[in-house]
Chain A
């Protein structure tokens, strides 16, 4: 089976996104140190997306071996239920970082805990830093980006990665 078939055939679990996020991080770091900042930003952005999605799914009760597709649909439904559908333009076909961040700070955990205000503020700041430099459509852009931009995105993605347990517990 070739790569495309393997990817499409896989029954994606939440912890697969954890592994994929780590792999994208390593690839992005390789691009960053070889002075290819746009490629690094592109991959760091996907890493951020997967970390936020995982956090949202965990707040909805997912375990590491829960099916990601089931929780993706569940998350969209919950977003509608709590009135986040007004921000559907931020959904960006499922890639919108602000959409997933809003979901993370709007949903209580299964134990009923809400995201502390200071954590929410810091998360918001990091999401804005990434969102102002990353967009899925950059795959069509010849813009090479800058090392400063890539470093800013790197630092914010690192913050999300280090604090992801606090985002879901």
Chain B
């Protein structure tokens, strides 16, 4: 009997988000209104990496799918070892980021 392995793949509607996010990660645009805004907290060594992406395009995207998009884009840019260190990958709209009190200190805008 053939064995079909089911991998964790992004749903097609999220591939564009992933691709845009990866592009932003590789070539960050400047400007106060540019989105997505990426906050990457990497203390270095083997300490956990925390990622926050503020983007109005998260509207209507379930939180778990937002995290998948972020992790996939991050892995494409930083590699498999780095993604293993990620303890938190939150996709937030601007109001959600304000509600969470996004930690600006210690987080670096990329």
Tell me the A residues contacting B by CB distance below 8 Å.
13, 15, 18-19, 54, 63-65, 162-166, 168-169
Which B residues are in CB contact (< 8 Å) with A54? Answer: 87
Q: Is B10 an interface residue (CB 8 A)?
A: no
CA distance A54 to B88 in the complex (A): 11
Q: A64-B71, A169-B84 are in contact. Are A15 and B46 (CB under 8 A)?
A: no
Secondary structure type dominating chain A contacts: helix
CA distance A18 to B86 in the complex (A): 11
Count, chain B residues at interface, CB 8 A: 16
Q: A64-B71, A65-B68, A165-B48 are in contact. Are A15 and B90 (CB under 8 A)?
A: yes
Contact A65 B87, beta carbon cutoff 8 Å: no
For B103, give the chain A residue with the smallest CB separation. A22
CA distance A42 to B95 in the complex (A): 33
Q: A64-B67, A65-B63, A65-B67 are in contact. Are A15 and B85 (CB under 8 A)?
A: no
